[in-house]
Structure 1
Amino acid sequence: MASVTSCFSDLPDPRGTNARHELDEILFIALCAVLCGAEDCSDMALFGQSKEAFLRRFLSLPHGIPSHDTFSRVFRHLDPAAFHDHFLSFMSRFAEQVEGVVAVDGKTLRRSYDRAAAKSPLHLVSVWAADQRLVLGQRAVDEKSNEITAVPELLKLLSLSGVTVTADAMHCQRALSQQITEEGGHYALAVKDNQRALLDDVQFMMETASAGEPHVDSGHGRVESRQATVITDIDWLQSAHQWPGLKAVGRITRRRELAEQATEETADYLLSDALSPDQLIEVTRQHWGIENHLHWVLDVTMQEDQNRSRRGHSAENLALLRRLALNVAKLEPSKGSMKGKRKQAGWNDDYLLALIRQFAQLR
């Protein structure tokens, strides 16, 4: 377990040389606490006090368990860029071997706003490996629109060969499409009003195109169907717009029927690969996994939206710690929900030890 206790040893300590508690031990306790259900720094201190005997199996703790003020101070002042670099080093072998769909999407931490300091809530953009259900990177941006500049930097950290990058219409940009195709990847990018002329031409083509067979799902009192249309004969469209790597355009029509109402919506896509209608449905469904398997888990299971940490870098650092804990739990091979795994870690020291060993293997 020596590799576990040294995982954070080369992070710069923002507290200087007078600190009573080692930074790597503080971060290790914090990670274990989040794996066991901790939501804030007070929970981390309480976890440490409750599990001191267990923690002393790996840590020296010469001055005992850090207080909640110590945890809070560390996360406020810890350099988030350096912390993110460590996160990337843990996930590097997955980033190099990623396959299938890589989804890009942003999320705002709603309670991180500071009205007194006129500070906007923290907005994070994440890169998500849909098949492995792992977070591969995160970047904080000042405003939602600044995702456009953050995403290319995040994608540089991945091997995109053979990967399909999916993103909403904000990222339907020529430069991003060029970057993805030059690195051997594919894209499926939603197109909306930010590319108005291109969208008009795509919608014109879709008026007479034939759709594939609908995919129907039912349950919980509703019936949902998805029907895809893909057009590969796009020579005139490409002549007019010269979009990097464009090979096809697609449309997904979604219909939802409830007991008393029915709704229908369409979404149009630029594709760098001539997908079949069934393949387009599968790719777009995998994209929404970032909402269902990441953002939903962070908000409902980990209570991220209710966390009021906002001073210094605390919101960004704690958000990254949650994503690291989520990855560690996902990589543990036993069946079960994230909620169940966190409860089991809190109740069963042997299971928590199994999760810690998963973390050690990331190093």
Structure 2
Amino acid sequence: MAPVPVTSCFSDLPDPRDSNARHKLDEVLLIALCAVLCGAEDCSDMALFGRSKEPFLRRFLTLPHGIPSHDTFSRIFRHLDPGAFHDHFLTFMSRFAEQVEGVVAVDGKTLRRSYDRADAQSPLHLVNLWAADQRQVLGQRAVDEKSNEITAVPELLKLLSLSGVTVTADAMHCQRALSQQITEEGGHYALAVKDNQRVLFDDVRFMMETAGAGETHVDSGHGRVESRQATVITDIDWLQGAHQWPGLKAVGRITRRRELADKVSEDVAYYLLSDVVSPERLVEVTRQHWGIENRLHWVLDITMQEYQSRNRRGHGLENLALLRRLALNVAKLEPSKGSMKGKRKQAGWNDDYLLSLIRQFAQLR
């Protein structure tokens, strides 16, 4: 049977190799994506997957010189332009980015094992945009240091339609320019404020100390009890007179109390809000923000073993990180219920299921 032609977002990606390359770039990348969907963690796994699944792969790939070696996978990811790769990632995600609703969380993630002691190379730090309601990665940007997130986030947000979206971020991103950008594009923000904005933080805290206790929400499970007490103040004329913060309509406070069998802890967080929301909604928005930790970062580290990544040469680490996020998105878009771990096992064991995942991305004809 002749191979089924495939059209993918990789088809016009610039090939970093010379014209004598034996393997087609789009086919190498599609094999890599399939491999990660089935549990591959590195380039050696990708080559092993290719050899094990060659009859299946030949159903939609030509493979004129067989399955690439692990050196070929590694070389391609080291030299592939991460900006161009990200652009093609966005091509696939564009229809979702344009229609994203609800909360978009901004957060950074450091790949600790990418630190190279011999070359004094800092570990790779990635900034992610996460659609909390859709549970999709909308964008990724590598930065040299954590502090450089401040300049990376505005560029990432330009990729989205922010109309009606609430952008959440930690105190590092409590910046006037970012607040202005979000409100000018029709979005809302819920930004944590801490003492990196010392005067603003002190004034917000002073206002909240005169407010009532607010509404309390209690959750329990797994041997712990958590309560969140939320307060929102909309009478902020004095605060705005002093700070003139772009788009500011309210300020909020959440007091979190966590009770374990032998320990009680409490912390207080303050927020700048560009929309007047109820205390209940403030709790919901902030909880959605921290979903990026257990629905994205936890899955990447524990299920996909990202925290073990040691590829330190060239652009390999950044490109493989984006490939994992692409695989996560593809699996999440598949409508059946189940964990990421379960879907990856099913993809590895059931060729028809893997093919259904590929169709979402590659548009097999």
Counterpart residue identity of residue 300, structure 2: L
Structure 1 residue 219 corresponds to structure 2 residue 192: no
Letter aligned with residue 281 of structure 1: V
Partner Cα separation in structure 1 for residue 270 and residue 194 of structure 2: 7
| Helix, strand or coil at the partner of 1:210 | coil
Listed as ranges, the gaps of 5+ residues in structure 2 are none
Once residues 261 and 110 of structure 1 are traced to their aligned partners in structure 2, the CA distance between those partners, rounded to angstroms, is 29
TM-score (norm 2): 0.98
Q: Does the C-alpha gap of structure 1 residues 280 and 361 become closer, same or farther in structure 2, counting only changes over 3 Å?
A: farther
Structure 1 equivalent of residue 269 of structure 2:
267
Q: Distance in 2 between matches of 1:211 and 1:333?
A: 42
Which residue is equivalent to 2:110?
A: 108
Could you tell me which of 221, 242, 249 is aligned with 1:247? 249
Task: Tell me the equivalent position of 1:92.
Answer: 94
Query: 1 CA distance for matches of 2:251 and 2:51?
Result: 57
Mapped pair 1:289 → 2:291:
yes
Contact 2:4 2:364 in 1 (8 A): no
Shift of 1:5: 4.4
Change (3 A) 1:6 1:59: same
1:78 match: 80
> What SS does structure 2 have at the residue aligned with 1:351?
helix
Letter in 1 for 2:135: R
Match of 2:359 in 1: 357
What is the SS of the residue equivalent to 1:326?
A: helix
Using the TM superposition, give the Cα deviation of residue 291 of structure 1 relative to its aligned residue in structure 2, in angstroms: 0.7
* Structure 1 position 220, deviation (Å): 1.2
1:150-161 map, 5 Å: 150-161=152-163
Partner residue in 2 for 1:141: 143
Structure 1 match to 2:200:
198
Partner residue in 2 for 1:278: 280
**Greater shift in the superposed pair: 183-192 or 205-214:** 205-214
Shift in alpha-carbon separation, 1:249–1:2, aligned structure 2, 3 A: farther
Contact 2:215 2:231 in 1 (8 A): no
1:18 has 2:32 as partner: no
The structure-2 alpha-carbon separation of the partners of 1:196 and 1:266, relative to structure 1 and needing over 3 Å to count, comes to: same
CA distance in 1, matches of 2:203, 2:351: 60
Q: Which residue, out of 31, 34, 51, partners 1:32?
A: 34
**TM-superposition CA deviations, 1:79-127 (whole Å, max 9, x none):** 0000000001110011100100000000001111111111101000000
Q: 1:181-234 deviations in whole A, cap 9, x for unaligned?
A: 000000000000111000001110111211332111111111011110100000
Partner secondary structure for residue 160 of structure 2: coil
Q: When the two structures are aligned, how many residues end up with a matched partner?
A: 363
d(CA) in 1 for partners of 2:310, 2:24: 26
How many Å separate the matches in 2 of 1:73 and 1:58?
24
2:325 is aligned to: 323
Q: Which ranges in structure 1 are unaligned for 5 or more consecutive residues?
A: none
Match of 2:57 in 1: 55
Cα distance, 1:307 vs structure 2: 1.2
> 1:4 Cα shift?
4.1
Name the residue aligned to 2:313. Answer: 311
**Aligned-pair distance for 1:3?**
7.1
Query: Distance between the aligned counterparts of 1:196 and 1:16, measured in 2?
Result: 54
Per-residue deviation, 1:256? 0.4
Q: CA RMSD in A?
A: 1.4
1:6 to 1:99, Cα distance in 2 relative to 1, 3 A = closer
- Pick closer, same or farther for the CA change 1:229–1:6 going to 2, 3 Å: closer
Letter in 1 for 2:81: D
**1:167–1:361 distance in 2 versus 1, CA, 3 Å:** farther
Q: Distance in 2 between matches of 1:277 and 1:79?
A: 45
Alpha-carbon separation, structure 1, partners of 2:16 and 2:285:
43
CA distance in 1, matches of 2:218, 2:364: 39
Contact 2:6 2:364 (C-alpha < 8 Å) held by counterparts = no
1:51-98 CA distance string (max 9 Å, x none): 000000011111110000000000000000000000011100111001
The amino acid of 1:42's aligned partner reads: S
C-alpha distance 218-209 of structure 1, shift in aligned 2 (>3 A): same
Are 1:214 and 1:228, in contact at CA under 8 Å, matched by a contact in 2?
A: yes
Is the deviation greater in 307-316 or in 212-221? 212-221
Encode CA deviations 1:227-273: one digit per residue, 9 max, x unaligned. Answer: 10100000000000000000000001100011111110000000000
- Specify which of 337, 343, 346 is matched with residue 345 of structure 2: 343
In structure 2, relative to structure 1, the CA distance for the partners of 1:172 and 1:263 (3 Å cut) is: same
- Whether the 8 Å contact between 1:164 and 1:185 is mirrored in structure 2 is yes
What secondary structure is seen at the aligned counterpart in 1 of 2:116?
coil
Aligned to 1:68: 70
Secondary structure of the corresponding residue to residue 358 of structure 2: helix
